[in-house]
C-alpha cells in the first residue's frame, strides 16, 4: 500500500475513534447527571453528608475533656506548681527549663543522673527522662521545641489519656481505678485502693510518699468532665 493511502486510512480511523469516544463520554455524563440531579438522590446525598458531619463533630466533642483542676492538683503536690522544678528542688528558679528545648532538657536529665542523683524528674509534672522520651516519640514532638508551659501541659494531658481519663469520663473506668492508675504515673498521689490506700504507689522506695489524701484525690477527679 502506498504511504499516502495508508495515512488517509489512519486519519479516518482516528477521527472515527474520536467521535465514538466523544459520544460515549457524553452519554455517560448525561446518565450520571440524571442520577445525581434527581431530587431523591440529592436529598440522600445531603442526609449522608449531614450524618458524616455530625459524626465528625461528635468525635471532636468526645476528644474535649476538662482537666484543668486535676492538672493543678497534680502540679501542686508534684512541683509546687513550678514549671522549672526538678527533683529535690521544687522551688528552683535558677535553671530555666521553660527556656530550654526538649532536646536540651533530655541531655540535662541524662547528666543529672550521671552525677549520682536518684531521679531525673523535671517540670511542673515531674517528667522523668524515660517518660519524656516516650511522649516525644508518641506525639512526634520536635526535640527543638521549647519545653515551655504550653508543651508541659500538653504532655501532662497525654499522660492523663494514657492513664484512662477518657475511659473515666465515658464511665468505662471507676473513680477508684482511675485514681489508682494516676498514682502509678505520679508518685505524690495516693494509690486509692488496696492495702494502705493513703500511701503512694511507690511507698517504700525511699524517694516518694503521697502528698494528698484519698478524699482530696477523689474531689479533684470529680472535676473532670466532658466539655
Per-residue model confidence (pLDDT) at position 102: 98
Residue 50 has a pLDDT of 58
What's the length of the chain?
Answer: 227
Task: Please answer whether residues 225 and 66 qualify as being in contact, where contact means their C-beta atoms are separated by less than 8 angstroms.
Answer: yes
How do residues 11-48 score in pLDDT, each as one tens digit?
Answer: 676 677 777 777 777 777 777 677 666 666 666 556 66
Using CA atoms, how far apart are residues 96 and 100, in angstroms rounded to an integer?
Answer: 7
Residue identified by cell 522520651 is 133
Closest CA to 155 of 183, 179, 185, 192: 185
If DSSP codes are grouped into helix, strand and coil, which group holds residue 99?
A: helix
Residues 6+ apart with CB under 8 A from 102: 132, 136, 141, 142, 143, 144, 145, 146, 147, 151
φ/ψ (deg, to 5) at 118: -80, -15
Query: For 119-161, what is each residue's pLDDT tens digit?
Result: 999 999 999 999 999 999 999 999 999 999 999 999 999 999 9
Using CA atoms, how far residue 184 sits from 72, 78, 152, 188, in Å, is 18, 13, 19, 10
Q: What is the DSSP letter of 65?
A: E
Structurally, what CATH architecture does the domain formed by 64-226 represent?
Orthogonal Bundle (1.10)
SS3 category, 226: strand
Would the pLDDT of 60 be above 60?
no
Q: What would the pLDDT profile of 68-127 be if each residue is shown by its tens digit?
A: 999 999 999 999 999 999 999 999 999 999 999 999 999 999 999 999 999 999 999 999
Amino acid at each position: 500500500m502506498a504511504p499516502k493511502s495508508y495515512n488517509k486510512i489512519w486519519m479516518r480511523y482516528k477521527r472515527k475513534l474520536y467521535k465514538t469516544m466523544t459520544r460515549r463520554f457524553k452519554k455517560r455524563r448525561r446518565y450520571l447527571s440524571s442520577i445525581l440531579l434527581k431530587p431523591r438522590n440529592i436529598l440522600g446525598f445531603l442526609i449522608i453528608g449531614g450524618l458524616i458531619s455530625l459524626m465528625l463533630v461528635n468525635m471532636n466533642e468526645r476528644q474535649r475533656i476538662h482537666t484543668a483542676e486535676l492538672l493543678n492538683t497534680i502540679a501542686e503536690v508534684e512541683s509546687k506548681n513550678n514549671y522549672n522544678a526538678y527533683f529535690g528542688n521544687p522551688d528552683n528558679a535558677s535553671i530555666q527549663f521553660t527556656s530550654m528545648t526538649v532536646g536540651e532538657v533530655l541531655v540535662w536529665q541524662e547528666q543529672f543522673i550521671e552525677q549520682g542523683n536518684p531521679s531525673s524528674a523535671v517540670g511542673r509534672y515531674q517528667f522523668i527522662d524515660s517518660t519524656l522520651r516516650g511522649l516525644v516519640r508518641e506525639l512526634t514532638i520536635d526535640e527543638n521545641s521549647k519545653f515551655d508551659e504550653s508543651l508541659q501541659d500538653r504532655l501532662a494531658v497525654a499522660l492523663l489519656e494514657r492513664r484512662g481519663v477518657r475511659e473515666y469520663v465515658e464511665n468505662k473506668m471507676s473513680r477508684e481505678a482511675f485514681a489508682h492508675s494516676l498514682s502509678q504515673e505520679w508518685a505524690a498521689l495516693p494509690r486509692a485502693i488496696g492495702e494502705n490506700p493513703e500511701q503512694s504507689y511507690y511507698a517504700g522506695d525511699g524517694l516518694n510518699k503521697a502528698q494528698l489524701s484519698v478524699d482530696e484525690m477523689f474531689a479533684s477527679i470529680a472535676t473532670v468532665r466532658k466539655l
